[in-house]
Structures are given as C-alpha cells and as structure tokens.
Amino acid sequence: MAKDVIFSASPLSASEILSQTVLAIFETVSAKEVLVQKENFKKFSTYLERLSLVLKEFFKFDINNSESLKNAIVILNSEIKVAKELALECCSRSKIYLLLSCRRIIRQLEDTTIEIIRALSLISLASLDVSSGINDEISKLRMSMMDAEYKTAIGEDEIMEKIESGIQERNVDRSYANDLLIHIAEVVGIPTEQSELKKEFEVFMSEMENVEQRKDVSETVQMEQIIALFEKADVTKTPEEKEMRYFNKLSSLGRQPLEPLQSFYCPITGDIMVDPVETPSGRTFERDALEKWLADGNKLCPLTMTPLNTSVLRSNKTLRQSIEEWNERNIMITIASMKLKIQSNDEQEVLHSLGKLQDICMKRELYSEWVIMEDYLPILIGLLGEKDCEIRKQVLVLLCILAKGSDNKEKIVEVNNAIKLIVRLLARKVEESKFALQLLLELSRSNVGRNSIGSVQGCILLLVAMSSSDDTVAAKDAKELLESLSIIDQNVIQMARANYFGPLLRFLSSGPDSTKMVMAKTLSEVELSDHNKLSLFKDGALGPLLQMLSHGDIEMKKVAVKALQNLSNVPQNGQQMIREGALSPLFELLYRHSLALPSLREQVAATIMNLAISTTHQEAEDVQVSLLTSEEDIFKLFSLISLTGADVQQSILQAFHAMCQSPSGLKIRTTLRQLSAVPVLVQLCELDNHSIRANAMKLFCCLTIDGDDSTLLGHVGQRCIETVLRIIKTSDNVEETVAAMGVLSNLPQDAQMTQLLLDAGVLQVIFASLTNGYKREVTENAAGALTRFTLATNQELQKKVAEAGIISALVQLLVSGTPLTKRNVAISLKQFSESSTDLSRPVKKRGILGCCLASPETGCPVHLGVCTPESSFCLLEANAVKPLVGVLGEPDIGACEASLDALLTLIDGEKLQRGSKVLEEANAIPPIIKLLSTSCGALQEKVLNALERIFRMVEFKQKYGTSAQMPLIEITQRGSSGMKSLAAKVLAHLNVLHEQSSYF
C-alpha cells in the first residue's frame, strides 16, 4: 500500500496521473463480473464512482500549484491500481482459490479504502478555491468510506472454520474432506458432479503451482495445508481412479489380517479403542470409558492411581490414526478373502459370510465401495435365484445397504437381469417382498433405476397390488415407488397405462358390477400423479364413474364418489366434471342421503369442494365454468352448513370460499350477503371446532371485501367484534388470524362502527399486530384496519393513536413491510400529516432575560412551530420523509401513490416553498419526476399537479427541469386531453412552451 508518497518521484505530470487514476477507476468499476465478494465489490465500486466524479472536477483547476493535491493524486493512483488488480484477479482466478482467499480479499479492500480516505484528507481545498459542493461531497465520501464494512459471507466463514478445524485436528476422515469440497462447490456455484469438481480442482491445483513460483511464503504454507486436507477426499476422483488406488494399496498388503498391537486395547474395557485420550501421566484410555470411570465418582487414574486432572486430557491422534490404518488394512483383506466363502455350497457358511459382509458395509460407505470394487455385485445378484429364503433376504438387505452409495445404484441396475430378479421377489412371501420393495425404492432414486424398474413386465401391477396391502409400511413404500415412476419417467407412464390403466378402464366401462366395484375402488385408493389423473379422464374414466353414481346399489355409489374425489383434485379434471354434468348427481346424493350414509355425504361434499377449487384455476382464454349459477342452488348448498356434521360443514365452507375467488366470485358474494349468510358465519366463528371456525372466518372475510355497508352494519355488533378480536389474540392458525384481521380492515368506515371497535379494545390488538413481528399478511391487514383511526377529521382519535407510539412503528414498516403494508401505512401517515399544521405549537418568543437563561425553541422547517410525532404527527420529526421517498421507487403502484399523497401534504397551500426544500433535501424530486412515466393515470395526474407547483420556484426549475422535459413532452403527445394540458402547463414553467400554446 502507498504510504508517504512524494510527487517528485513520478516522471508524469499531475494532470497525467489524474487522467490515469480516473481511467483506472473506470476499468475497476467496469469489472462487474467478479466471481466472489460481489456485495463487497459493489459497495467498493460505489465509493469509486463517487470518487471519480470528484476527481473529474479537479481538471478545472491548475493542480500543479497544490503539493497536497498532487501527493493525494499519486496515492490514489497507486491504490486504484491495486484495487484494479484485485478486481481482475477476482474475475479470472478459480472459484475455489478465490473462496479460500476471501479473508485476504476483504483485508485488501479494507486497506485500500483506508488509504483512499488518507489521500482525500491530504487535499487542501482552500488553496484550489473549489465550490462548497465539491468540498461537501469529499467530506461525505470520506465519512461514508470510514463507515464502510466489508464482510465475508456466512457460507465462506463456515468453510474457513471447517478448514482450520480439519488442519488443527489432522482429521483423516474421507467423508469430512468430501463434505468440505461439496460444501465449497455449493457456496461458489460449481456443479457437484464429479467431472465438474475434478476440473475445478485441477484448475485450483495449477494456480497453487503459480503461488509457489511467486514464493508467497505465507500463502504457500496455508495452501499446502489446505491441499493436504483436500487430498484426503475422493469426490473429485473417477471410479477408475478410486479403483486403481484401492488395488494398489491392496497389492501392498499381505493375505492375512494382522493382530492388533497391545497399545490398541483400552485398559479399562479391554476393547480396541476408537477415540483414545492421553492423561497427564502418559496413560491412554478410550474416551467414553474414561468419562464413565470419572462419572462413577473415581478421581484417580485407573492404572497409576494418581490424581487425575481431567482438564488436561488430550486426544492421542497418532495412536488413533494407527488404529484406523490397522482396521482399514484388515477390512480390506477380509473383503477380498470372503468371496469364495459366499460362493460355497454350504448354506450356513454363505449366511455367516453375508452377515459379516453386511456388518462391514454398515460401518462406512467407503467399505461398501470396496465390496463393489471386488466385483461382489454379480455374485450377490446371482444368489437372488437361490432356493433358500434366508439367503435371498440377506442378499436383499446387503444390496439395499450398498445401493445407498451415490454411485452404486447404477452399478447394481447394470448387472445382468438384476432388476428382473428383484421384481420377481415382490411376489414372494411378505417379509421377502418387503425387502425387495425397499431395494427397488432405493434404486428408483436414480434415473437409470426408474427406467429399468418401470420397464419390467408386470412390475406396475405387483406394486399396485402391494399399495393396497394391509401392511401400512409396505403399502406406503409401494405407493411412493409408483408415484416416483409415474411422475418422472414417461416410458414408465406408458407401461403403467398399458399394464394397468388400460385393462382397468375397459373393466370399468363394460365389466360386471363386481369388477366395476373393484376397479373404482382401486382408483379411489391408489396414489396417482396429476399426469396419470389427467390421462385417466382423457381416456374416458369420467363417464363410467358418473354412470355408477346413478346405480341403485349404495356401495357402488360410495366407491364411485370416492374415485371421483381422488381424481377431481386436479383443476382440469374438476372443470371437466362440471362441464359434463357431474354436479346434478352429486347434489342429489348430498341432499337425499344425509341420514343413512353420513360417510357418503362427506365424500360428496369433499368432491364438490374440489370442483369449486378448480374454478379458481381457469385460464383467461378458456370457456369459463361456474359451479353454482342460480340463487336457488347457492341457497340450497349454503343451508346445509346449519344441518350437517363438521366434515361436511368444513367442505362446504371451503367450497364457498373458493367460489368467492373464482371469476363468478362477485355474484356468489352478493348472493350470500342477500341470503343473510353473515349471521350464520358469525355463529360458526364462536364454535370450539377450530377447523370450522377458521373456514367460517375466511369466508366471512370474503363477504366483507366489497359488501354494502348497511348489510354489515346490521349484522356486525359488539359480540361479533369481540369474537373476531378473541380469535386474533388466541388462534394458532395463521390463515384464520389473517382473515380475522381482514374483517376488521374491511368493516364500514362508519362512526358507530368505529366506536364499537374502540370500545372492544381493537387499537391494542392492531398495535400488537404491527409491532410484534406477526406474519406479513396479518401485518398488511392490521395496517389497513388502522387507517380508520387516523382520519384527519378526528384529531382526538389521532392523538390517542399517536400517543401509543405507533407512528415510529409505521415508519419502520415503510422499510420492512410488504407493498400492501407500505400502502396502508402511507395512507395513515398522510392522514396524520394533514393535521400537522393545525397542531404544530407556535414557537414562544422570549424576552431579554429569557434569551440569556435558556436556549430558544426551534421551529419545524415546514410547519414553523414546535412539532413532535406524538403532538403534531409531523412527518419530519417522525423521520418518515426518507422512507416515504424510498417507497416511490417500488414497482407497486398503490404503494407509490399512497406514499406520494403523504409527501405532498408537506407542500399544501402556503407550505409549498418550505416543503419543497424538505423534499429536495430528502432527494424526493427525482423519483417524483420518474413517476411521470407511470402507466397509472391517477398517479400521473398527481405528479403533474405536484410538479406544476414545485416548478413555480426558480431554483427547482433550474435544477430539475431538464430531467422532467422528455417525460412531459411524451405526455403532451400521447396523454389524454386533460393530461396534455396539465403537462403543457408544467412545460410552460420550464420555458419549453409558450403560455398561448395550442396544448392549452
């Protein structure tokens, strides 16, 4: 880094160095595609861009006469070159290397920032006679850079901590190194496939050679330690490389396992140690055994009987590594020597060897890989044809363990006839078929496995049969496997339809009643993908099922309804059912079979609910379908809410809630209000059944959205309000709480209703919802409910709200809230601000003695009196102006318009000049001008009216007029007649048009 640089050391002139510096800043800032530390470089680039603007101003002066400026420029030039090299490095080096260098990069950014600040402090602006604006900008830039804080990402810190821990602990676990490399790949955005990891790792290793050539000692030492840790991983190695490594090591070993050394045994347990720890006396014990010895109250060393200081126990890493190497050596020899035993004709020998091999594989995934490298898979698959059931089960269990390895599934599938033999075992006895099913489920987690399983003749039918099994675990696994095959692989879908759905549909259409019952029952119970459900309807399943609804046998109706319920939760199927007349027989069953078969009625209601939900998923270009078209149908269905059990009630409530949000929702809501549905829902909201209550509240909220005030005023009284508030306070159901708060937000803006809400204590509930971190939808509705209590027509109520400290919470929500929350908050702040002029307290004039004894009060720059958020609701004192300006730049039109309305209260009437100055200081005028291009006519008109007033003042016209000209001209050419005239009026203020222009 540049320290005390003397200008005379440079052969270039100050102007040339200044030009170089500005160019280097441009090149540094242009290096946008850094691979790491994007946020830090973005922050640093922002400082450089501001610095560039300052430096460009110095071209206007003769900088050769200022030694301080010349020296500052030399320092800046040097630091910018360093920053440029760092940026280029972060664009071109390997992602792994850059991540491992993250802390160095942060330090370099910090050092460069400090040096730039130092250089700026050397500049003597007084000698240059620069404007106060440049002086202020340099001061602001220095202050901003002093506050600069560059941080490594959480993922980067985690990785560096794991690396340091691995180096410190000398961790030799292959899985630790593998997980570390994969974690690095995920953080830096490298694909975790072996080939991609290998390529990136090779690039990294190549770069490390260059580090060594540069003799960067500290970096070289650190990277050597990291590389030593990475080399323990094999995730970057190909299967061929792993195999070569395994056989090279195996060839160096003898044929017989080695006996363990005496030092491997724990003196306490007599067993070989796993985690040996050494005591101060030099004795070594198994950690768990020693901890148990101490926990039993023993204070002395088990061998020396000397006092044992447990605070200085340390891992005996050397011994642990020796034990692990001995163990791996013996396991490698054991695996290689067991193949002949497994192929013997002695069934007991085979079973014993399979069990031993199973125990080995369960210890570590690495051992499973060694088993596969020893070519055990063809032998094991061959044993699936053995007559002995126990041997087959042991093999299935062992294969399932082996299949859990990431690369092993495909190797098992590729063994000749492997999948066919496993599928055949699905038809064996229950226990064996369950093991076969678990193995197939594991293999199906690879694409090759899914394709192979689905292509085996009869597999789908066997799985369908198992999915209806009384064994819940087996049925669950079979359904999961069917779902996996149906969703992911199209070839399997075709097999399923050929093997299963084709015959099923034929029997469903033309088979005897008993067969139809079986087919419909299958469709009602099998878990199907959405694609299969659509295919079944496309191939004609709906017609036969609707015919079964008219069958005289009740059981036939039940299985048909259940099948329709299962298939109707796909929106396209639900819409097709409505078009093909399914409602009529469903309603007939719902209304006529209430007492005899309540379960049938519940299934019908659930199916109707699915159909209602389907109407909310219609595309605009489709022919729209409605579930209920007449008031009579709406009345009949809604009346069942009061006459049926909880399950049917819930389905009907959910159906109406869906219909209220469908294309015909307005008609449904209007009809329900006319049918006095509100008091029924209010009663349901008082029930102890939480599910019914929640669904009733959601429907109640829908009916308050666009209802006439008289209907709601007639049915919503003190008791109803208390019920709603109780639900908000006590419910654990987020959707219910959102709906209840929505009801409060939608209630009529009536004085009597407002008083009822106040008497019930609604303000405290709203305040809690705005300040206690509730779900965002609750906060949105709470902010909407608050707007009725902040109207400028009731200043006493405004004071009550403000004194509770809610204004500061509202300002915070302008930053952290959703667009709807920000819109509602801005409405309240606007209503508060409308009262500020009246409530601002005049500044007291002090006498001669008063001036000596106390500091005079300062007035608000806009309202000229003494303001506070609690007394006059002043936006300035509440620090709300800048957050409101921030909302102007958001894409949500409603939030922008509400925020603009709040800001424009600062320039009402005589406050124009004072308020405009405040808006300028908050940098509000540029985003207001930007809103001239909005597509919302109402918002555009407000902006035009505001600018027409602001541009009456010369200073604002000169400063911002140019940026507003083109949007204004665009409006005069393409806007409505009223907008054209208004835009022309603003352009006249800017001297672009004459007052007599035809635009007026």
CATH 3.60.21.10 for domain 347-456, yes or no, is: no
The mean pLDDT of the chain is 82
State the Cα angle at 130 between 125 and 131, rounded to 5°.
Answer: 125
Question: How much is the pLDDT for 504?
Answer: 65
State the Cα angle at 710 between 709 and 716, rounded to 5°.
Answer: 85
DSSP of 816-847, one letter per residue?
Answer: HS-HHHHHHHHHHHHHHHTTHHHHPBPPPPP-
Describe the crossing of helices 459-467 and 472-488 by its angle, rounded to 10 degrees: 140
What is the b/e burial string over 667-691, where b = at least 16 CB atoms within 10 angstroms of the residue's CB?
Answer: bbbbbbbeeebbebbbebbeeeeeb
**Share of the chain residues as helix, strand and coil, in percent rounded to the nearest 5:** 70, 0, 25
CA dihedral 900, 902, 903, 906 (to 10 degrees): 140
Are residues 767 and 729 in contact, defined by beta-carbon separation less than 8 angstroms? Answer: no
CA distance 960 to 974: 22
Residues 6 or more apart whose Cβ sits within 8 Å of residue 204: 94, 96, 97
DSSP of 319-362, one letter per residue?
Answer: HHHHHHHHHHHHHHHHHHHSHHHHTSS-HHHHHHHHHHHHHHHH
Low-confidence ranges of the chain (pLDDT < 50): 1-9, 171, 212-215, 487-498, 594-596, 996-1000
Tokens of 635: 């009345």
Task: Report domain 867-989's class.
Answer: mainly alpha
CA distance 795 to 758: 15
Are residues 564 and 607 in contact, defined by beta-carbon separation less than 8 angstroms? Answer: yes
β strands within 211-365, DSSP E: 276-278, 284-286, 314-315
Question: How much is the pLDDT for 200?
Answer: 77
Question: How much is the pLDDT for 831?
Answer: 94
Question: How much is the pLDDT for 337?
Answer: 85
Question: How much is the pLDDT for 493?
Answer: 43
Question: How much is the pLDDT for 6?
Answer: 44
Starting at the earlier edge strand, list the strands of the sheet with 314-315.
Answer: 284-286, 276-278, 314-315
Question: How much is the pLDDT for 880?
Answer: 93
Question: How much is the pLDDT for 306?
Answer: 84
Assign a CATH topology to domain 238-337: Herpes Virus-1 (3.30.40)
Question: How much is the pLDDT for 3?
Answer: 44
Q: What is the pLDDT of residues 669-703, one digit of tens each?
A: 888 888 888 888 888 888 888 889 999 999 999 98
Phi and psi of 875, rounded to 5°? -65, -35
The helix/strand/coil state of 298 is coil
Cα–Cα distance list, 2 to 78, 85, 346, 983 (Å) = 6, 15, 82, 55
Are residues 16 and 63 in contact, defined by beta-carbon separation less than 8 angstroms? Answer: no
Question: How much is the pLDDT for 495?
Answer: 44
**Chain mean position to CA 323:** 45
